Chain A
């Protein structure tokens, strides 16, 4: 027996350590037990966070990756564990989040036999991953792990699944680790074309009314500083997508606000007035563009993206600039003439004032009536000096958090954009706190989404994670109710919820909490929540029938902005 040989399970852990992994979110089970057994000997090197559900493990890995810029890792078993993880993996696929999920699998000899907890993981995962691979031999483990991490984090990031058969976990092989740096047929970053850079610069230099749209690509490329220099050189106003939030600080003078369905009025209206639209690391999602037939038809469009498949997917572009924004932005900046565009920038103010007077003022600083979601978000943001990592669930809470929380640094809004996964918030906040232990992590969620993954309170308890949970409770599935009010004749079909005593539930998990029902108690409760770094549940009973405005109805034009009761 060759003593240099180690088990596939050990190879997995050793390989991950060489990839710089020190944190895993997981849940053990039958077909992954050998890997967990190996992990037991590496407790000094790898922090394993036991979640309460595999979906929670995937969202936690996403939250961790989003806040830290590192790759999130999940270790879970076969069958139901893998199917539970599909939601989080799909979420990571749509939001380009680098995670590697290792699922246990039955032994190779049992594959395809409907063995206990056997399911076709690769088949299920292929549509929702960047790469899904089944490891059937211990000798392939190091190779597959190296490839998995390379694929997950390079180019346009995304989820990778390694389906790890039990025999490959227990069998032994020689171990030597070679990081992956090249895969034929996979071009993570296409070469930058100087002609395209020149064409883009020429269009921008000739523009009278340029508008930049900032997406998550800027954050993924770590190109925040390059973006700022680009915008400042030619004084280009810029707006951000949901996932591009915090790529620019909220108080940056060229930051014109939030794009899309519940975004700010000015950047949406100005999309159809600008003469050159510069999309940077964003993908013209329907929640941003509304009706494509009327979207920015007057403008020349420049699209900077790392993913060739995004070019001309939704919007036909005049100048595609393929490449990593960290490389392409400075190249364009170098060719830009200084410009002013002050009159154009000032013209945003008309819409800003209108939105402030009709929507924002009464949402964030209401003087009477029931409490609003916007006011809670606003107060929490102020109380944290706009320094916190803001995590959201999905729905009204998410839109309010995106609209009214402010950010002073990048990677500060963690949210489920593409998939819109209710239940994302609590486990993502777990991952965010693990990934940024020194930052305040504030989760805004609704009473609906909170109860979809409420069991992760157990993870918070066990790991003693100082997550601040702000539950904006309206006893309704608020966003669906809003649509029912607006588009379905106020027929509230199954959106009203009888809720439990949330504070008592938190208490059962040894998590402090309080319920605020009156405005006069809100400030003190927020202060109390933030007084230390312990987990806390702040339940705020907000108005039952609050609305998120402005709103561009689904399929309408970006200029069809509804402001509610004026």
Chain B
């Protein structure tokens, strides 16, 4: 069996109605779950950028990416693994002020996790932590196991590649030059 791992799929698309559906139905057909999804306008006006993560195999992710890339409204789609990427997620934690105060000093917690406090009143405190999944998860578990978390939310992954050159305009220029690498049998 081919090994499953986490792949990050980047998609640049036109900003038109129904794009997300066009992308997700390709995952649906291949029965691959989307782990995280983040969408926002890209650096180029009128072009949207999707960052999607999914646990799957290399051969399947290649097929999925090619099927996405093939859609008319999709400008470019490619995938990376974590080694190729600088990536980040953001998490927000809402904690009861009373319970937080009861801990005594929270300085070490703030320092250890590099927490930012976004809001604070007599009822609750809101922490912000950014980092990899494991890091935001670790803080969540520590807080839940000690003082409890009233609300928790985590964003989808955003990522930037470590490649030296990577501009969409260059990629679009190179699109006609598409080639397929044969796969070693």
Contact = CB atoms under 8 A, between A and B. Distances in A.
A and B associate in one complex: yes
Interface of A: 122-123, 126-127, 130-132, 134, 151, 183-187, 190-191, 193, 196, 307-309, 311-313, 316-320, 322
Interface residues of B, number: 32
Given A127-B29, A317-B182, A309 B176 contact: no
Contacts of A316: 182-183, 185
Nearest to B13: A185
A183 B73 CA distance: 9
Contacts of B72: 130-131, 151, 183, 185-186
A191 B66 contact: no
Contact of A134 (B17, B25, B59, B74): B17
A312 B62 contact: yes
Contacts of A185: 12-14, 72-76, 172, 175
Contacts of B76: 185
Interface string B53-93: 00000010011001101101111100000000000000000
Nearest to A191: B176
Contacts of A317: 182-183
Contacts of A132: 18
Contact of B176 (A123, A187, A307, A313): A187
A191 B179 CA distance: 9
B102 interface: no
Contact of A123 (B21, B70, B177, B179): B21
Contacts of A320: 179-182
Contact of A184 (B21, B172, B178, B185): B172
Given A126-B21, A134-B17, A185-B75, A322 B178 contact: yes
Given A122-B18, A309-B63, A191 B182 contact: no
B144 interface: no
A272 B180 CA distance: 25
The listed residue with most A CB atoms (<10 A of its CB), out of B13, B63, B69, B182, is: B182
B114 interface: no
Contacts of B17: 122, 134
Q: Which 8 A-B pairs have the closest CB atoms?
A: A185-B75, A320-B180, A309-B66, A311-B180, A190-B178, A316-B183, A191-B176, A186-B72
Contact of B179 (A187, A196, A309, A312): A196
B71 to A, nearest CB: 8
